[in-house]
Structure 1
Amino acid sequence: MDIGVLLPTGTAQWATADDPRELIALGRTAEHLGFTSLFVNDSLISPRIEALTMLAALAPATGTATLGTAALLPFLRRPVQAAQSLASIDLLSDGRLTLAVGAGYPGRFGRPFYDLSEVPWARRFARLDETVALWRALWNGADSFHGEFHHFTDLPPALRPSRPTGPPIWLGGATPAALTRTGRLYDGWLPYPPDPADYTTGLHHIHEAAAAAGRTPEAITPALFVTVRIDEDPKHAHRALDDYAHAAYGMPLPELRKIQTVVAGTAEQVTARLKQYVTAGARHLVTRLAALDLRGQREQLERTAALLPELRARPRPRTRVRPGQ
């Protein structure tokens, strides 16, 4: 069971006096507290530390935690250059890189990015899959690549990452098509379904698609992206999460709950809710901490760290009661 944290690289999670260099110390603290992964988000036009720059800074400052993206938007970058940057981070971190990728979605976080990147919105999912295939080909030493969107001949030798096949690549998304593509092509799944039952259904779909493609379920890491707020007073936790929803998405908490996994309450309440997703099949939790300054982020990090032993504990076997006892 892996449990990680999404570092607050966006300025919406900083106070005016916060120093963004504290993010490195926050990552080291998370690793010391027992979190096994450090993730960062990706964007283009929102004020945020660029994802790969953040991971490159974390690589020499940490020693054991997986470094990941949740999620990287490959269309924002030239694909060959991105492959080189990703291989560099993987080497500098001694093979600790994991990539969750996505194609964006309609709204202010999706199509405008494509327009600014001068990349067509049409067939964006096919473009994403082909870009990932190009990366893997480059990391395996291919000297040419010919697809629907990318055509290269006489490719020069590319930088090889630590692992021969490159870092694991997960897909974010939970549409039926995304589930099928995850089972066929990707190394992991990072969704945020509001209902644990939907997680179970989606994972079953992925395993069926994997079997049809000659893959085993064990080849795919089942992860979960979840926003967490812990307070002694449940009402205060929900108010803080509502403030976070407004700051990050411009929407109230009830609307965010309809589209994402969000958990707020006491430590016991949050643990119980997260365990429902573990029971549903999740084996790598990526927790986003709902705080709007770095001091609050550190407090929430410590409160979430206190849940780690219970979340990692294996369920106790049921005691069989013999008749007459």
Structure 2
Amino acid sequence: MTVGVALNAIDADNQVDATVRLAEEAAAAGLRSAWFGQTFGADSPQLAAIVGREVPALQVGTSAIPIFGRHPLVVSSQAQTAQAATHGRYHLGLALGTKLLTETGFGIPHERPIARLREFLVALRQLTETGTADFHGELLTATTPIPARVPGAGSRVPLLVAAMAPQALRASGELADGILPYLAGPRALAEHIVPAVTAAAETAGRPAPRIVAFVPAVVTDDVASVREKAAEQLAFYEQIPSYARVIELSGGKRAVDVAAIGDEETVAAEVRRYRDAGATEVVFTSTEIAGDADRLRTWALLGELAG
């Protein structure tokens, strides 16, 4: 199983410089991948391209770009550029986004997200694989009167979706290469998420999907303090219906209930539970809530598990 970490250096004086330094530390610890979120701040494909260029030992990925407020032509250009910069080590993650951020931030309605996701994936696949598109959907149009190919990007960019609900899982299984579930514990993965996306992929005649599970996790002796910080950091997700649902399916009441916080033995056991539930890759998040000592301790464990 591949293990990695989500890097977040938004409080640094220079986010790009700090992120590269963190990535170097992660690679030195033996981690295999680094992932970057997308909000209204740093452009995650650019950040991934820079880190992947500077730290060639790491696979890099975006988790994940909301499809509302974006267009497949623009996202394809970003993804292909990152893929060329990293010589094939970039992984593109897409997300449905949320009503709150879409309508408040962009001023556009967050309507028919599954239909938009399907059209986005079809058009994007054409663009990233061929550098051309002639797609005319109900919600999106993507055509290429001039080529949209980035030399050096190779023949494909892995397409993943932050999908956890039934319709999104069905679309992802049929049209994407895998999924990026977050705050979905082993029970939700094993009983709901993995079977649904796998069945959809099989029906569509596609390979078994990648299941890249994002897990809030910290190795620490100060469990109570770290858990309190994690609860505060993760509370935002509890107001989003898709996350609230998957937390409940995982057997939790709050987002922090699916976090893996404890000593090496405790956290390693949680990683094994994710593996047994069908995760093909595990990515740790929330390590920034701990001090440097706990962060490095967490990464050391991940390096051991990767080895």
Give the secondary structure class of the aligned counterpart of 2:120: helix
**How far 1:9 moved relative to its partner?**
4.0
**TM-aligned CA distance change 1:25 to 1:181, over 3 Å:** same
Alignment of 1:51-130 (within 5 A): 51-106=44-99, 108-115=100-107, 118=108, 120-130=109-119
- Relative to the length of structure 2, the TM-score reads 0.84
Alignment of 1:88-237 (within 5 A): 88-106=81-99, 108-115=100-107, 118=108, 120-139=109-128, 140-142=130-132, 144-153=134-143, 155-160=145-150, 162-164=153-155, 166-201=156-191, 202-217=193-208, 220-237=209-226
**TM-aligned CA distance change 1:309 to 1:157, over 3 Å:** closer
Choose 1 or 2 for highest CA Rg.
Answer: 1
Q: By percentage of residues, which structure has more helix?
A: 2
Distance 2:164 2:104 in 1: 22
Query: Is this contact kept in 2: 1:289–1:301, CA < 8 A?
Result: no
Flag structure 1 segments of 5+ consecutive residues without an equivalent.
Answer: 314-325
Query: Is this contact kept in 2: 1:103–1:124, CA < 8 A?
Result: yes
- Other-structure match for 1:4: 4
Q: Deviations over 1:210-237 (max 9, x none)?
A: 12111232xx111101111221133233
Distance 1:179 1:96 in 2: 24
**TM-aligned CA distance change 1:128 to 1:10, over 3 Å:** farther
**How far 1:79 moved relative to its partner?**
2.8
**How far 1:243 moved relative to its partner?**
4.3
**TM-aligned CA distance change 1:90 to 1:241, over 3 Å:** same
In the alignment of these two chains, the number of paired residues is 291
Identity %: 25
Alignment-mate amino acid for residue 8 of structure 1: N
- Other-structure match for 1:277: 274
Distance 2:113 2:206 in 1: 25
**How far 1:268 moved relative to its partner?**
1.6
Flag structure 2 segments of 5+ consecutive residues without an equivalent.
Answer: 240-251
- Other-structure match for 2:298: 304
Distance 2:133 2:46 in 1: 28
Q: Deviations over 1:186-224 (max 9, x none)?
A: 10111124431210122122221112111232xx11110
Distance 2:133 2:43 in 1: 30
